[in-house]
Structure 1
Amino acid sequence: MRKMNPPGDVGDGIQKSDAPILPPNHRFMEPEKVVKSVTDMAIWEKSEAYMEYTGFISTLNEAVKGKPNSVDCKVSESVKNIVGMLEKINNLIDECPPIAQPQRFGNAAFKDWLNKVKNNSSQYLQKALDPKIHSAVPEIKIYLEESFGNSTRIDYGTGHEMSFVMFLCCLYKIGCLKDEDNVATVTLIFNKYLEISRRLQQTYRMEPAGSHGVWSLDDYQFVPFIWGSSQLVDQPRIYPPVKFLEDEIVDKYAEEYMFLSCIKYIKEVKKGPFAEHSNQLWSISAVGSWSKINQGLIKMYKKEVLAKFPVIQHVFFGSLLPIRRFSIQK
């Protein structure tokens, strides 16, 4: 089985391997929610899924260090197919316009949109993936379907974002994406996902899931701040980091750097002084380097997202991201 980097500080490097991704007799399974109580969190934090997931975050973090979205990188057919699939999902929003309703938040048309995604997810994935790995579809489609929000609460948060990153991780584990796709996975695939997520939030007025208010990093996202801060390492045009608070810098470079696109989005949807509605980000702007910000955000992510039961209770575990205890000798 392909090994992702174990969790650690930024700079772990990207592992290369020509070994088969999965054994030919690998048995896929429909993933399930396993973390049922706070005491189960210890199982999650020692699990193979945790090690794979945090290693995957670190690997892609290293891959995009100092690289803008427009960087010249390999764009494989697999990457194009996944982006094309996401565009189909994006187009479904046009088929489900918001309905007239009295409440301000949570437009019920989102339920129709998500139903369309679930009804088409298997077909979309089969078209995007090599027929040799179609047997993985029943397992990985759950992660895709859980990536966009909850249809009952009509909300979206870091747990849904986590599901999409797990979906990407699974694409690597089944051999759809490879090491050479690392940069494009962030700059093309994940950016497309962000575009869809923001459109959903705006179109259906989705509420934040489990928001901590102004003391949270952001109401909806976290991972783009990690990978986005890595993109800004050693970028003299946005240095020192406090420059990300300047409207001129944000407007000029938002399309090139994921971190700045997040700041631009926040400024568009929130009113009032930035220091008041985004206090955590305001505090981060005082840190002296993007490298320190990046390392700090990874630690914060593990503490504020991956260590929180309200998030992890909704995570699915299967054969690709198993809950079994991580063992170095596999």
Structure 2
Amino acid sequence: MEPPPSSPPHSHSCPTTTTSSSDSPPPRIATPPPHLLSNPTTCCKCGGPTHPPPPPDPTSLPSYIPIRYPAINLPPDSTTRSQQSIILTPVPQPRPVPPLSPPFHFFPPVKRITSPSDASHFVNSFSGTHFLGFVAFLSHSIRGCKISDPCPPLSPTLSQIVSILDALISWVDEIPPAPQTSRYGNLSFRQWHERLTQHSNSFMLQILPSDDSDQIRDSTIELLPYFLDSFGNPFRIDYGTGHETNFAAWLFCLARLGLIKEEDYQSVVSRVFVKYLDLMRKLQLVYTLEPAGSHGVWGLDDYHFLPFVFGSAQLIDHKYMKPKSIHNDDILENFSHEYMYLSCIAFIKKVKKGPFAEHSPMLDDISGVPNWNKVNSGMLKMYRAEVLEKVPVVQHFLFGSIIPWE
């Protein structure tokens, strides 16, 4: 009679139940002996030898290491959390701009935001609340209006701003792009920005009143940084929503100084901001500015945000055009020059290839919203949550006496 075969070596898994004969009681799982509990190489159930995996090497590297950690290029799960925070954000309401009263104490503005708590403090502070209220007021002033609709005559301040923007547009034609093979960042933009820096002080003095009795002309020390940061970064050769926010902050400063009044707000949007948008699109195309801190495919747009806020306000209560009308190419072709939102969609379709739902999924989702009123309120909430409360965007925002840090 042959001896029974030897037991196979014990593995990590052992049977939880055994088949017993009919004349024997079912097995009972008992507590392992103490010597087995103290031995990590034996199974706690059957006492057989185990083969535990080797301990992890603390010096070993993960299987995937990104070449460059993106700043805020959010994956879908982060986008979901971001959307939830936007839903909980209250809709910003129009607020009158509090005037800055003399005596003035102007000084060079400085950075203050270094953490998410600082950004949250800013949007809830006096400066953040009134700045966001100023943006909401501009949005309200353009409700139901086309760009070509009559508006109050331009004030001397707005006339000077428009002429300055026209001059900046003409400089792009005078400074052609340098030949290069890289996709982004034409070096000629630095030459354009250098000329802007050289003329910026005279530009500010053209806008400010010549009467120096109230020392308003001394405000150039605070106005210049916001103005220069409105057109992109000459070292990185990029542009994004942070630079756009600086332009809005510059207008906010002029409003606090009493140079822009509430009756000017429709003209500020339909004449000044539209001209600024034309300039920035020309700079983006000619000098191939890189998107600054873009969310990529998970964001609203690579460069701009405020045109979607103002543009959605223009289309509120429109008889024929709905949010889903952005998918109609005939509507985009015939009405993009009158409505900023449609202009933004047409520009995106011009510079990006492929299906719209793939390269701009957020805008594609927004097109399913039933009316423009909801789109506009959502855009204002998103501007607060995705721009003014994001440290990578507002960490370069400046605070002085006109926009104080509390």
Give the TM-score normalised by structure 2.
Answer: 0.74
Residue 218 of structure 1, CA deviation: 0.5
Residue 14 of structure 1, CA deviation: 6.1
Match of 2:330 among 241, 248, 271: 248
| CA deviation map 1:265-294 (0-9, x unaligned) | 111111111111111110000000000011
2:382 is the alignment partner of 1:304: no
| CA deviation map 1:95-115 (0-9, x unaligned) | 321112232210111111111
Match of 2:234 among 148, 151, 171: 151
8 Å Cα contact 1:217-1:280 kept in structure 2: yes
8 Å Cα contact 1:67-1:231 kept in structure 2: yes
State how far apart, in whole Å, the 2-side matches of 1:242 and 1:308 are: 29
State how far apart, in whole Å, the 1-side matches of 2:318 and 2:288 are: 35
2:219 is the alignment partner of 1:139: no
Structure 1 residue aligned with 2:30: none
State how far apart, in whole Å, the 2-side matches of 1:38 and 1:320 are: 23
Structure 1 residue aligned with 2:270: 187
Equivalent runs, 1:250-269 vs 2, <5 Å: 250-269=332-351
State how far apart, in whole Å, the 1-side matches of 2:378 and 2:115 are: 28
State how far apart, in whole Å, the 2-side matches of 1:150 and 1:252 are: 34
Structure 1 residue aligned with 2:205: 126
State how far apart, in whole Å, the 1-side matches of 2:254 and 2:168 are: 18
8 Å Cα contact 2:176-2:188 kept in structure 1: yes
Match of 1:115 among 184, 190, 194: 194
Structure 2 residue aligned with 1:320: 402
2:169 is the alignment partner of 1:90: yes
Residue 9 of structure 1, CA deviation: 3.2
Distance 1:14 1:65, change over 3 A: farther
Structure 2 residue aligned with 1:215: 298
Structure 1 residue aligned with 2:126: 48
Q: Which runs of 5+ in 1 are unaligned?
A: 1-6, 325-330
Question: 110-119 or 39-48, which moves further after superposition?
Answer: 39-48
| CA deviation map 1:8-31 (0-9, x unaligned) | 636x456499xxx33231111211
Larger radius of gyration: 2
Query: Which residue identity lines up with residue 251 of structure 1 in the other structure?
Result: E
Residue 40 of structure 1, CA deviation: 2.5
2:281 is the alignment partner of 1:198: yes
Equivalent runs, 1:7-22 vs 2, <5 Å: 9=91, 12=93, 15=96, 21-22=99-100
8 Å Cα contact 1:226-1:297 kept in structure 2: yes
Name the SS of the counterpart of 2:223 in structure 1.
helix
8 Å Cα contact 1:52-1:321 kept in structure 2: no
8 Å Cα contact 2:112-2:398 kept in structure 1: yes
8 Å Cα contact 1:47-1:322 kept in structure 2: no
Query: Which residue identity lines up with residue 307 of structure 1 in the other structure?
Result: E
Same amino acid, percent of matched pairs: 41
Query: Which residue identity lines up with residue 299 of structure 2 in the other structure?
Result: S
Number of aligned residues: 313
2:359 is the alignment partner of 1:281: no
8 Å Cα contact 2:209-2:217 kept in structure 1: yes
Give the TM-score normalised by structure 1.
Answer: 0.90
Name the SS of the counterpart of 1:146 in structure 2.
helix
Name the SS of the counterpart of 2:231 in structure 1.
coil
Distance 1:27 1:253, change over 3 A: same
Residue 206 of structure 1, CA deviation: 0.9
Question: 224-233 or 70-79, which moves further after superposition?
Answer: 70-79
State how far apart, in whole Å, the 2-side matches of 1:117 and 1:28 are: 23
Name the SS of the counterpart of 2:159 in structure 1.
helix
Question: 200-209 or 67-76, which moves further after superposition?
Answer: 67-76
Higher relative CO (CA 8 A, sep ≥ 6), structure 1 or 2? 1
Query: Which residue identity lines up with residue 174 of structure 1 in the other structure?
Result: L
Query: Which residue identity lines up with residue 269 of structure 1 in the other structure?
Result: V
State how far apart, in whole Å, the 2-side matches of 1:71 and 1:177 are: 20
CA-based RMSD of the aligned residues comes to 1.7
Structure 1 residue aligned with 2:183: 104
Structure 2 residue aligned with 1:23: 101
| CA deviation map 1:32-63 (0-9, x unaligned) | 11112344334323322211211111111111
Distance 1:96 1:232, change over 3 A: same
